[in-house]
Chain A
Amino acid sequence: MITRSTRGRRAAVIGVSLGVLTTALLSGCSGAGNGSGGADGVVLEFPNFQASEAPFSTWWEEFVAAFEEKYPDVTVDMTDSQNSDRYQETLLTRFAAGDPPEIVQQTTTNFFQLAGADYLADVGDLVPSSWGPLQDTYEWNGETVGVMTLASGLVLYYNEKLLQDAGVDVPTTPEELVKAAEAVYDPANGIYGFAGVSAPQDPKLYNESAMFVVGSGGEWFDGDTPDFTSPEVIKGLGYYKQALATAPPGLQFTQRNELFQSGKAGFMVENANFLGAIQQQAPADVKPFLKPAAVPFPNEPGLASVELSIPKSLDGPTLEAARNFVALAVSPEWQKRYAEVIGAPAPDPDSTADLIAQNPYMELFVQLQDEAVSILPTGPEVRKDFPIYRKEIFDSLVSITSGAVSIEDAMKQLQSSTESQLGS
C-alpha cells in the first residue's frame, strides 16, 4: 500500500534526481576535451582553407602525410575551412574562449587581428634567415609570430588575343596600361578592359588599389603616419580610377577571375600562383592567350598573403609537435616541393633555382618576389587596427570611383580622419 506521503517523497527524489542528472549532463557537455591530446599521442587540429584549393591541396596532402610518417605519435586533423569571414569569426571566438586550433592558418590581414590580441607564439627561431623581406610582415613587438606560406609580387595577367585585336602591346607604364584597357573595352560585346573588383569591402579592392598606389611610389601610411595626400598616392589613384572605369561595375573577385579566365577582360592583377588556376580552369581555346607580365609601374608591389602560426597557449608535447610541423613546412625539401607543385616561387627564395629552366614564367615570378614592396602597412598602430583603416580606404575608393568626390578631396578627408584617430 502506498500512501500519498510515500508517493510525494518518491516523486521528490525523482524530481531532484532529474535536476542533478540535467546538471551533470550540462557540466559534461561543457567539460568536453579539446582534442589536442590523448592516450594515443598528440592530435594537431589544423583548419586549412587551402585544403580543397588546387594546387595547394596537393602540397598540403603530401606534406601532412610526410609529417605523420616522420612523427608517428602525432596526428594532424586537417579540416577544410573556407577562407571567409565566418572562418575568421570562428577562429577569433575560439581564441577568445581559450580553445584555439593547434596550427593556425590565416590571411595576413586577419593575422594582424590575432597578433594584435597577443594570441600567437614566437616562432622566429624556426624561420630561416635566407627568407625574403616579406617575412618581416609577421614581426610583432619584436617577435616573429607567423611564418609566411604564400608570398608574391603582384603580376599583371593579360589576354594576348584581346590586346592584338585592339592593336595594343603589353603595357610597360601605367599610362600604357590605362590606354590599353580603354582600347580593349567593348562592353556592348561583353569585353572589358581592366577586370578590377568594385564590390563593397571586397578584400581584393585593397590589393588592387594599393597596387596602383605603391606601384606609383606612394604608400597609404608611412609607418604610423597617414600619407594619403602625397602626390604619388593621388597619381596612383588617378590611374586606378581610369582603369576601373573599364571594368564591369560592382565586380566581386570570384566574378573577376571568371571574367578574365573566360577571355572577356584584357587585364587583371593577382599573385603568381593565379597562373596555376588559369591552367586548370580556363577554357582550352582561351588558355593559350592568358599570360603573365610584370606590373607596369616603377615599383613592384607585392605582399605576404598567407601564414602559419602557433597559439601562445600551447605547451608540452603539443607545443613541440606544433613547432615540428612548422619546422618541417619551412624546410628546404618541402619548400622546393611547394614551388614544384604550385608553379610559383615558395617563400624560401633558394627553393626555386632548379625550377627556372622548367617553368618559363618562374624567373619572372622570382624577380617580382625579390623586388616586391609590401602593399600592407608597417606601422604597429595601423596594423593593430588595420580592418578599421582598410574599411576607411574602401569607403574613400567607393566615393572616388562613383564620382561623388574628387580624388584630392577624398584623400584630404581620409587624411584628416585617420590623423585624428592615430593622433598624428
Chain B
Amino acid sequence: MTTTSTTGSAGAREFLPAPAGPPSARRRSPRLSLGRRRTIFGYALLTPAILFVGVLIAYPLILSVQLSITPGRFASLNSAGEGITFDHYLTVLTSPETWASLLRTGVYVVGTVVPAFAVGLAIALLLREAFPGRRWLRTMILLPWAVPGVAASAVFLWMFDASFGVVNKLLMHLGLISQPIAWYADPHTAMFAVIVPTAWKLFPFFAMILLAALQTIPGDLYEAARVDGAGRFQQFVHVTWPGVRGAAYIALVIASLGVYREFDFIFPLTRGGPNDSTTTLAIGIYQESFQYSNMGFAAALGIVSIVIAAVFVLLVGRERRKG
C-alpha cells in the first residue's frame, strides 16, 4: 500500500523514526524538499534531450560563429578561436557577389516554390474528388517526394542533355527550337534547368499538405455556397482558400526554407555555373569552404544566411498575423 500525504515532506516525516538526542542537538535533515527534488528530476529527464540538442545543434552553430570571427584564411577547425575579427562579415556584406548570390537564391526560391505550389494545389483539388483509381494516384503523386535529390538530378541531367536529351528532341519536334539548347552549359538557361527538377520534387509536398487541409473543410459550406449561387471560382475564393490558407502558409514557409538551402539539385547539375549563374548562397558557402579552403568567410556567409532566413520567417509571420 502506498501512503500519500497532502502536506508534502512534513507529512512524510510522521513515518520516520524519532531522532535521538535533544531537539537542539538534532541536525537539520540534508534531504531536499519534494518540490526541489521534482525540479531536479525534471531536469534530469531533460538531460538527454538537452545534450542531444547541444551536440547536434548548438555546438555546430557555436563553432560556425567561432570560425566566422577567426582572423585570416584557414582550412582547419583547430584554428577556430585563434583571435577575433569581424573582417569576414565585412567582406561578406560588402562583396557584390554576396548580393548577387542572394538575388539568385531569391529567383531560385520563388521560381521553384510558386510553380510547385500551383501544381500541388491543382493536384490536391483533383485528388479531393472521388474517381476510380484515386487511392492509387495519390500514392503515385507522392513518388517524386521520395526520390533522393541526387538521383533525380541524374535523371534530369540526361533529360536536359544538349545532344541526346528528350527535352531538346521534343522541343525540336514541336518546332519550338531549331538548334539543341545546352541547358546546363548556357548561363541564360541553367537556372531554369535547375528549377524544373527542384519544383518536380517539391510539388508532392504541397499536394499532400493541401489535400489534408482540403479534407477538413465541411461539405456543408460548399452546399451553402451553392445555395447562395456561388460558382466554382467563388467557392474556391470564399470557401476553399480560407480553409487551406493556414496550411498553405506553413507549407510555403517550410518549402521556401528548404529550397533556400537546397544543394542536392544545383551542385550535381551545374556546380554553381556556368559563370556563377546558379551559384546560390548554399552553393557559395560550399565553394568557399570545401573548394577554396576559406572556412572563415564560408562560416560568416553561413551565419548571414541564417540571419536572412530568420528575418524572412519573422517578416512573413508578422504579415500572417496582420492578415
User: Which A residues form the contact surface with B (CB < 8 A)?
Assistant: 1-5, 8-9, 11-12, 15-16, 18-19, 22-23, 26, 85, 88-89, 92-93, 95-98, 113, 116-117, 198-201, 248-251, 255, 385, 387-388, 391, 394-395, 398-399, 402, 404
B163 touches A248 (CB 8 A): yes
Chain B, range 75-97, C-beta contacts under 8 Å to A: 75-78
Within 8 Å by CB of A395, from B38, B181, B275, lies: B275
Within 8 Å by CB of A89, from B12, B34, B77, B290, lies: B290
CB distance from A24 to the nearest CB of B (A): 11
Chain B residues within 8 Å of A89, by CB: 290
Within 8 Å by CB of A250, from B75, B185, B292, lies: B185
Total chain B interface residues with beta-carbon distance under 8 A: 52
Given A12-B44, A250-B161, A85 and B267 touching (CB < 8 A)?
A: yes
Chain A residues within 8 Å of B267, by CB: 85
A398 touches B38 (CB 8 A): no
**Which stretch in B2-10, B131-139, B220-228, B250-258 binds the other chain?**
B2-10
Q: CA A92 – CA B293 in complex, angstroms?
A: 9
B270 touches A95 (CB 8 A): no
**Nearest CB in chain A to that of B295: its residue:** A96
B15 touches A95 (CB 8 A): no
Q: Does B65 contact A (CB under 8 A)?
A: no
B268-301 vs A, CB cutoff 8 Å, 1 = contact: the mask equals 0011111110000000000000111101000000
Given A26-B51, A250-B163, A5 and B291 touching (CB < 8 A)?
A: no
B44 touches A113 (CB 8 A): no
Chain A residues within 8 Å of B31, by CB: 5, 9
A402 touches B41 (CB 8 A): no
A96 touches B161 (CB 8 A): no
Chain B residues within 8 Å of A88, by CB: 290
Within 8 Å by CB of B2, from A1, A85, A200, lies: A1
A3 touches B276 (CB 8 A): no
Q: Does B187 contact A (CB under 8 A)?
A: yes
B270 touches A97 (CB 8 A): no
Q: CA A255 – CA B186 in complex, angstroms?
A: 18
B34-59 vs A, CB cutoff 8 Å, 1 = contact: the mask equals 10011011011101100100010000
Chain A residues within 8 Å of B183, by CB: 250
Chain A residues within 8 Å of B295, by CB: 96
A398 touches B162 (CB 8 A): no
Q: CA A394 – CA B31 in complex, angstroms?
A: 73
Q: CA A1 – CA B271 in complex, angstroms?
A: 69
Q: CA A389 – CA B75 in complex, angstroms?
A: 18
Within 8 Å by CB of A199, from B4, B12, B15, B184, lies: B184
Q: CA A12 – CA B41 in complex, angstroms?
A: 5
